Amino acid sequence: MWWSENEWTALSARETCEMCSDAHLPTNAHSLLVNQTPTSFVRLARNQAHAGYSLVILREHVTDLTDLTPAQLAGFWTDVQHASRAIQETFAPKKIDYLVMGHRMPHLHCHLLPQHAHDDPRRNPDISDGPAIAEPTELNRAARAMASAWERT
């Protein structure tokens, strides 16, 4: 059963939004900041069950793609594409899957889940796989490599 009206209102409020409060930080409990644009924050997830798993998070508190202007929509998907190119250069996946949900974290963001040679292509990717929390040194190295790749792509 879907959230009650009161639950959804509370969950989707900007004042209580976790992404609004920490997406801009260099590090947070879930990820490291790789880059930022006028539209989005690009973050490398700490859970690296899918090497290169990243998120592109809209700067503005919006809960649905339908709430974006055409310019915001173009900017967001351009950032997703740019992040994908950085992931491809850094992690060399076979494919990247893109998930936009928002039913538990109602702030527009896209999960970028790289699929590698060892992954089963018949299995749907799951952001809950793992967790395989990367060592801080390795995660920092990967974030720097992605940031460098971002500049080149």
Instruction: Tell me if 29 sits within 8 A of 73, measured CB to CB.
Output: no
List the domain range (segments joined by +) for residue 80: 5-152
- The CATH number assigned to the domain holding 9 equals 3.30.428.10
pLDDT given at position 21? 96
Per-residue pLDDT, averaged over 16-25, amounts to: 96
Measured at the alpha carbon of residue 50, what is the angle toward residues 27 and 107, in degrees to the nearest 5?
50
Q: pLDDT tens across 21-50, in order? A: 999 999 999 999 999 999 999 999 999 999
CA–CA separation, 28 and 7 (whole Å): 25
Please count the structural domains in the chain. Answer: 1
CA–CA separation, 137 and 7 (whole Å): 39
Q: pLDDT tens across 93-121, in order? A: 999 999 999 999 999 999 999 999 999 99
